[in-house]
Amino acid sequence: MRELYELCGSSPELVFSPYCWRVRLALAHKGLDFVSRPVRFTDKEALAFSGQKLVPVLRDGGTTVHDSLAIFHYLDEHYPQPGLLGGALGESRLLLIDRLSAQDLLPALARLLVPRVMACIDPVDRDYFRQSREKRMGMSLEAFAAREAGQAQLARALQPLDAMLQGQPWLDGAAPAGADFLIGGFLFWAWTLGEQPWPEDSPTGDWFRRLLAFCEERQGPVQRATHR
């Protein structure tokens, strides 16, 4: 059996973590089914078997792997076709893309999404989420969640994606692969929380719709939070 431990909101069907979406998309790409094991932020005991406290964790038979890119590596090693990383050179470039996107796309989206995360998680997780994120950011969630600044930051972060996607359907070329899932995971984060802070009518908007269709064709409808 293959199990994916992934972060959920107050509803176990609402899975929203960008890193877990990377893995869902990678599993869809490989045509591998899995059982979802939703965990809340404070369900750390459910992850104890993995020897650490973060999701995604993939349990595949007797093997446990955590960290989205380590899972990509594992999947390529054990289920080579279709490929995700494109060998050692591709893997090293994907690590670079991960670091670059952690510098611009991730913080831009985080500023816009933090209030939605607070609204969608289980009330028992809220203190933990607030305290851990305020410590990490060195400011209150309210000060961090500056919407206008976040939108401007996001527009800048999306420029290279728009430029790339003007000339090709997928970030990885003619067919989707690791880079699409790595970056796409961030957009699924926003989408599942009920947001779409990029222009619908843009190369990135078109690409996201393709990626959503790719995923839904293989794994069924993607659960999305509604604003109340």
Ligand X SMILES: N[C@@H](CCC(=O)N[C@@H](CS)C(=O)NCC(=O)O)C(=O)O
Chain residues in the site for ligand X (CB under 6 A): 7, 17, 19, 41, 53-56, 67-69, 132
To ligand X, the closest distance from the beta carbon of 136 in angstroms equals 9
CB nearer ligand X, residue 6 or residue 172: 6
CB nearer ligand X, residue 94 or residue 158: 94
CA angle 221, 105, 120 (to 5 degrees): 45
Q: Is the C-alpha dihedral spanning 129, 152, 198, 84 positive or negative?
A: negative
To ligand X, the closest distance from the beta carbon of 106 in angstroms equals 10
Are the C-beta atoms of 36 and 15 separated by less than 8 Å? Answer: yes
Q: Which amino acid is at 63?
A: T
To ligand X, the closest distance from the beta carbon of 90 in angstroms equals 17
Tokens coding 108: 């831009």
To ligand X, the closest distance from the beta carbon of 62 in angstroms equals 21
CB nearer ligand X, residue 132 or residue 168: 132
Q: Which amino acid is at 49?
A: F
**Alpha-carbon span 152 to 173, nearest angstrom:** 28
CB nearer ligand X, residue 38 or residue 203: 38
